[in-house]
Structure 1
Amino acid sequence: MKVLLSIGHGFSARALVPLLDGFRIIGTTRSEEKAVALRAEGIEAVVWPGTDLAPLIGEATHILTSVAPGVEGDPVLAAYEAALRAAPAEWVGYLSTTGVYGDRGGDWVDEGSALLPATKRGKARVTAEAGWTALGLPLHIFRLAGIYGPGRGPFAKVRKGTARRIIKEGQVFSRTHVEDIAQVVAASIARPAPGTAYNVCDDDPAPPQDVIAYAAELLGVPVPPAIPIEEAEMTPMARSFYAESKKVRNDRIKDELGVVLKYPDYRVGLRALLEGEG
């Protein structure tokens, strides 16, 4: 039987599960409360940190890690480097971020572009990617753009009146619907290509203020006023997102994995989210 060990079984990994047939799925989560919810979905949930994952690593045919690195590095690598080096898995996936490319002043990047992270989070991801690569596993890296999907999008803030249209000249972001992440990962599992990195994003990099405006239009509420970034009160985390501007190419997931995006731009994605609420 195929066994997927999903370390950090969260938003993206949960969307993957319906696309996998014939898999026993073991997922880790950080609390018993979340573990109970995962078990209700048919997942063999274990709490980690707190459970020794080494035996599970030793029996998994497939390993997916969604755990972000912290200030001290990647916690999965720190705890289980030896077990991972000896792992018999035929496919390993690491969910990374397009932040590894850094700021490109709105220019395009692809998987062959240099990794030039500008933020601490981006630098930590580059280090983590290198650490996973060094293990010698059949690794596949997925560099995810900004993620949205059911329960995670602009509608709640627009409805509450807390959404802001922060304007920075020339700023563009790429984004991706969680269901498209899931189908890319599933396609990779079906067609392994160890050592490959994939950008996972839609076809339409866009200014973030345009996304907020479109969400407001769909809801039939006033478009939030524009706020120049120089005048916006923002947390350091939020401001760091505006430190980078780039457009991300996704040709590889189409050409090599045969993926046809369900949500090729944010307009299609947001309309689908709103229809899904009905």
Structure 2
Amino acid sequence: MTTNQHQNILLAGASGVLGRHIDRALTDAGHKVTGLGRSEGNGVQADLMDRDALLRAVDGRHFDTVVHAATALRKPPMGHRDMYATDALRTEGTAHLIEAALATGARRFVTESMVFGYGYGDFGDRTITEDDEFGPRGADPQLERHLAGMRAKEQLTFGTPGLEGVALRFGLFYGPGGTEALLPMLRKRQLPAPADRGRVLPWVELTDAARAVAAAVEHGRPGQAYNVADRTPMGFRAHLLCVAEEFGLPKPLSVPLWLTRPMAYAHTMFSSSMRVSVEKAERELGWTPAYPSTREGLAALRAATTR
């Protein structure tokens, strides 16, 4: 399906790191964007977790499409508890936003999903496609809590009558507004690099991710999910080394993986390995990453910050 006409779009999470890039990408594509969030700078000021206040805030408003890019994360999650607010936002928050979308007459709902919805662990050399199971049961109660949130978010997106739901399963974000937070820690050698032993994960530069959202708004097929990542999966250690090298910072300390176990959620991610195919997004959305690898994306970021 293609909906190229300019749309009136409600963007939940517009003031977040990814949200700011999505706002720019949608605006550049000719759409009118209204931000939704708790801060005063949003056109619709409301908390997704407060259903009644959210419905009051959108009362009398009309939107063609709603984009769900809201997050409760303000810094990288280290422990499982750091994910609890995001887990709730994926379940109750998404249900409330979908109710608000229907109230505004929106026909399309594009949601931010992520590749960890395929599960945490080592998938080896197998390339995961959108046909693989999404939201398998977690190996323990903590992982199941996170996976249940991702599972519910997509089920709500695809299972609501009257809404054309599209999900984008993003790799790990880096780039403008995200990577800069790592630089002071790397400069002080406060950010160790865990040994990854060949493990890799999908990454995507933030402006590339935002362009994928704009493409999904216009070209995404209802009921479909799309993997969105660059073409060069990379381990956490390799990524940190790349950041340090590009910005002329000290090489991060190398630590054994077991030493990160007290940071239970981060340790789970460090222990995971995954490759995903983005062929479906390239074919159906007409999207390709401007930065096929993090090295190219980081070089562009450094060039932009040293102008």
TM-score range, shorter chain: 0.7 to 0.9
Give the superposition deviation at 1:215. 1.8
Q: Do the aligned residues in 1 keep the contact of 2:170 with 2:227 (CA within 8 Å)?
A: yes
Query: Is the aligned partner of 1:105 residue 2:123?
Result: yes
Q: CA 1:271/1:3 → structure 2, altered by over 3 Å: closer, same or farther?
A: same
Query: Is the aligned partner of 1:226 residue 2:254?
Result: yes
TM-score, length basis structure 2: 0.78
Residue by residue, what CA displacement relative to the aligned partner does 1:107-150 show, whole Å, maximum 9, x if unpaired?
A: 32111111236423233101221122211210110011111121
Give the superposition deviation at 1:105. 2.8
Residue by residue, what CA displacement relative to the aligned partner does 1:160-210 show, whole Å, maximum 9, x if unpaired?
A: 321211013332111111111111111122224111111111101111111
Structure 1 counterpart of 2:151: 126
Aligned residues: 269
Structure 2 counterpart of 1:206: 234
Q: CA 1:55/1:167 → structure 2, altered by over 3 Å: closer, same or farther?
A: same
Query: Is the aligned partner of 1:3 residue 2:8?
Result: yes
Secondary structure in structure 2 of the residue aligned to 1:223 = coil
Q: Please list every run of 5 or more consecutive structure 2 residues that lacks an aligned counterpart in the other structure.
A: 1-5, 72-85
Q: CA 1:227/1:117 → structure 2, altered by over 3 Å: closer, same or farther?
A: farther
Structure 1 counterpart of 2:193: 165
Structure 2 counterpart of 1:64: 67
Give the superposition deviation at 1:86. 5.7
Structure 2 counterpart of 1:142: 168
Instruction: Measure, in 2, the Cα distance between the counterparts of 1:54 and 1:61.
Output: 18
Q: Do the aligned residues in 1 keep the contact of 2:62 with 2:105 (CA within 8 Å)?
A: yes
Q: Do the aligned residues in 2 keep the contact of 1:4 with 1:62 (CA within 8 Å)?
A: yes
Q: Do the aligned residues in 2 keep the contact of 1:67 with 1:74 (CA within 8 Å)?
A: no
1:114 maps to a residue whose letter is E
Structure 2 counterpart of 1:52: 54
Secondary structure in structure 1 of the residue aligned to 2:87 = coil
- Comparing 71-80 with 268-277, greater Cα deviation is found at 71-80
Q: CA 1:185/1:169 → structure 2, altered by over 3 Å: closer, same or farther?
A: same
1:75 maps to a residue whose letter is E
2:105 maps to a residue whose letter is P
Q: CA 1:163/1:54 → structure 2, altered by over 3 Å: closer, same or farther?
A: same
Aligned residues with identical type, % of pairs: 23
Q: Do the aligned residues in 1 keep the contact of 2:44 with 2:58 (CA within 8 Å)?
A: no
Structure 2 counterpart of 1:174: 202
Structure 2 counterpart of 1:15: 21
Identify the match of residue 34 of structure 2 among 26, 30, 40. 26
Instruction: Measure, in 2, the Cα distance between the counterparts of 1:245 and 1:140.
Output: 25
Give the superposition deviation at 1:262. 1.1
Give the superposition deviation at 1:85. 4.8
Residue by residue, what CA displacement relative to the aligned partner does 1:7-30 show, whole Å, maximum 9, x if unpaired?
A: 222222221222334433221222
1:56 maps to a residue whose letter is V
Give the superposition deviation at 1:233. 5.9
Residue by residue, what CA displacement relative to the aligned partner does 1:67-106 show, whole Å, maximum 9, x if unpaired?
A: 3553485233443554545653232101011111113433
Query: Is the aligned partner of 1:89 residue 2:94?
Result: no
Secondary structure in structure 1 of the residue aligned to 2:123 = coil
Secondary structure in structure 2 of the residue aligned to 1:205 = coil
Q: CA 1:209/1:173 → structure 2, altered by over 3 Å: closer, same or farther?
A: same
Give the superposition deviation at 1:59. 1.1
Root mean square deviation, CA, Å: 2.5
Q: CA 1:30/1:78 → structure 2, altered by over 3 Å: closer, same or farther?
A: same
Q: Do the aligned residues in 2 keep the contact of 1:5 with 1:56 (CA within 8 Å)?
A: no
Instruction: Measure, in 2, the Cα distance between the counterparts of 1:2 and 1:73.
Output: 25
Structure 1 counterpart of 2:83: none
